[in-house]
Amino acid sequence: MKPPAFDYHAPGDLGEALRILAEVRGKVLAGGQSLIPMLNMRLVAPGHLVDINRLTSLATIDSTGAGVRVGALVRHSAAERSAAHPLLTRALKLVAHPVIRNRGTVVGSLVHADPAAELPAVLAVLGGSVRLARWDGGAETTRDVDAGEFFVGPMESAVQPDELAVSAYFPALGPRTGATFEEVARRHGDYALAGVCAVVTLDEDGGIAAARLACIGVGPTPVVMDVSEPAAVREAAVDRVRPDGDIHATAAYRRHLVGVLAERALRNAVREAEARGA
Amino acid sequence: MEHEITLIVNGTAMRATVPARRLLSDCLRHDLGLTGTHVGCEHGVCGCCTVLLDGEPVRSCLTFAVTVDGHEITTVEGLAPEGGLSPVQRAFAECHGLQCGFCTPGFLCTVTAFLRDNPTPTDEEVLEGISGNLCRCTGYQNIVKAVHRAAELRAEEA
C-alpha cells in the first residue's frame, strides 16, 4: 500500500506548471483524495507527478449574477463554505466525508470523472464548462470545454496530457428555478449506487416550464435528460439509463433506484423553485 | 530522488529527507519518530491517520510529505501540553470513548478541530463530524457521548 516511485514537480506558478506539463505530460496532483488512493493501491503508476498545490492563484471562487467560476485549487470544503451556488453546495455535502473535503478539490473531482461522482452531474445538469490551459511553445493558451463534451467515459475527461484544468464554471440558477440532488449509497459518504440531480424552472402560473436531470452511477458518464412529461419522469429515467451491475448492486436495482430518485428529485426541485420564488 | 523538507510539527520545525512518494503518515511515523499517528487502511477510508494540517483535519495517508513542505502539522502528540490531557482526550477517557485505542488518534484530531469550529454541536452534527472515522471495537455510542462531554469541558474551561 505504498505509492510507486515517480518524478516530482512542484511548480510555483501557472506558467511553470504548463511548461512542465508540456514537457513531461505528467499526472496533475491537486487534493489527491482520488489519485493517492489509486497510487497506494498501485492502480496507476505515472512517471511524473505535477503538484499544483503551490499555485495559490487557482484557489479563488469568482461569483457573478451569471454563475460561479471555481479555481483548480479550491477545496470542496471552501466551495461548500462559500455557498456560492445552491446546487453545488447541496452536492458537496454528499461528497465523501468532511475530512476528505478539506483536501479534495472541485475541479479535481470533475477531471477524475468517476461515473458515480456527484460534481460531474452538477456541471452536466447546469450546462457548465471547464477551462483548460496549455503551453503552446511560446505562450499560454486556454480553451473552454462544455460539460457535454468534457466527460468522455468512466474516469476519462477531455483533458489532454499536456493540459491543466484551471477552473470550472457553474451557471447560476435562473428566476423561479429550484435544484436538488438525491442519491442512495450503502453508507453515508460512499459513492452512490445511483443518484439524480434535478433543475426545474416554473412558469408564471407555477407549472413546470423546464426540467432537466443528470443521473449518476447508471452509465459511463452522467446521463443528462430533459423532462418533457413530468408525470412520466420515472419511466423516462428507467428507459434512458444503461447501468451495470457490480458487487454493490445489480443493474436492475440501479435502474429501479434511478426511477424512484428521478421522481423524488423532480418533486423536491419543484418545492425548491416555489420556495425561491422569482 | 530525495527531497529536503521542513515540517512544523506540534510547533517544532523538523527536517527530513524523503522520496516524493513518502506519505505524510509514513514521514511522521518513520522519519520523525512520531508513532502516535496510526495507519489503518492507507486509502482514506478509516480515518486513523487523521492529523491537522494548518489546523484542518486531513488524511495523512492521502497527502505526500513533499506537498506540505513548510506547513504546520499537529499530531495527537501535540493536542495537549507534555504530560497533560486536552479536554477532548479527557472526555474520551471519562466516557469510555476508546477500547483498543487504534482509531483514537484520528478521532481526537478530527474532534478537536470539529469542536473548535462548532463548540455546541447537535447529535446529528456530531455524527456528520465523525462520519469519516471508523471504530471497530468501542462502538460509536460512547464516542458520540465523549464528543458532547468534550464540548462541555471546553465550555467550562473557556
Is residue B59 less than 8 Å (CB to CB) from chain A?
yes
Share of chain A above pLDDT 70, in %: 100
In angstroms, the CA A230 to CA A237 distance is: 11
> Which pLDDT band holds residue A278 (cuts at 50, 70, 90)?
low
How high is the pLDDT of residue A187?
Answer: 86
Chain A positions touching B47 (Cβ under 8 A) are 97, 99
Summarize pLDDT for A209-235 with one digit per residue, the tens: 999 999 999 999 999 999 989 999 999
Q: Is B25 within 8 Å of B109 (Cβ atoms)?
A: no
CA distance A195 to chain B (A): 20
In angstroms, the CA B115 to CA B91 distance is: 12
Among the listed residues B123, B127, B113, B130, the one whose alpha carbon sits nearest the alpha carbon of residue B47: B130
Q: Which residues pair with A254 in a beta bridge?
A: none
Is residue B128 less than 8 Å (CB to CB) from chain A?
yes
Task: Tell if the CB–CB gap between B23 and A8 is shorter than 8 Å.
Answer: no
Contacting residues for B33 by C-beta, under 8 A, at least 6 apart: none
How high is the pLDDT of residue A1?
Answer: 84
Q: Any idea which residue has 511548461 for its cell?
A: A19
The chain A residue lying nearest B47, using CA atoms, is: A99
Long-range contacts (CB closer than 8 Å, 24 or more residues apart) made by B124-127: none
Q: Any idea which residue has 506537498 for its cell?
A: B67
Task: Tell if the CB–CB gap between B132 and A37 is shorter than 8 Å.
Answer: no
In angstroms, the CA B2 to CA B107 distance is: 32
Is residue B105 less than 8 Å (CB to CB) from chain A?
no
CA distance A9 to chain B (A): 9
Summarize pLDDT for B97-128 with one digit per residue, the tens: 999 999 999 999 999 999 999 999 999 999 99
Q: Tell whether the model's pLDDT for residue A52 goes beyond 70.
A: yes
Task: Tell if the CB–CB gap between A98 and B128 is shorter than 8 Å.
Answer: yes
For chains A and B, CB pairs below 8 A equal 87
Give me the residue from A1, A3, A8 closest to B3, CB to CB.
A8
In angstroms, the CA B133 to CA B49 distance is: 9
**Between the CA of residue A277 and those of A170, A270, B92, what are the distances in Å?**
21, 11, 47
Summarize pLDDT for A92-117 with one digit per residue, the tens: 999 999 999 999 999 999 999 999 99
Average pLDDT, chain A: 96
Q: Any idea which residue has 460539460 for its cell?
A: A147
How high is the pLDDT of residue A208?
Answer: 95
Query: How many other C-beta atoms lie within 10 A of the C-beta of residue B105?
Result: 23
Q: Any idea which residue has 512517471 for its cell?
A: A47
Summarize pLDDT for A7-37 with one digit per residue, the tens: 999 999 999 999 999 999 999 999 999 999 9
Chain B positions touching A33 (Cβ under 8 A) are 44, 59, 62
> Which pLDDT band holds residue A87 (cuts at 50, 70, 90)?
very high
Q: Is B9 within 8 Å of B73 (Cβ atoms)?
A: yes
Chain B positions touching A49 (Cβ under 8 A) are 20
Using a 10 angstrom Cβ sphere, with 0-12 exposed, 13-18 middle and 19 or more buried, the burial of residue A117 is buried
Q: Is B47 within 8 Å of B106 (Cβ atoms)?
A: yes
How high is the pLDDT of residue B1?
Answer: 86
Q: Is A254 within 8 Å of A245 (Cβ atoms)?
A: yes
Q: What's the sign of the alpha-carbon dihedral B33, B113, B145, B135?
A: negative
Q: Which residues pair with A182 in a beta bridge?
A: A196
Provide the CA A175 distance to its chain's centre, in angstroms: 23
Q: Is A101 within 8 Å of A174 (Cβ atoms)?
A: no
Task: Tell if the CB–CB gap between A36 and B23 is shorter than 8 Å.
Answer: yes
How high is the pLDDT of residue A59?
Answer: 98
Q: Is B96 within 8 Å of B50 (Cβ atoms)?
A: no
Is residue A40 less than 8 Å (CB to CB) from chain B?
yes
**Average confidence (pLDDT) per 10 residues, chain B, 158 residues:** 96 98 98 98 96 98 98 98 94 97 98 98 97 95 98 94
pTM: 0.96
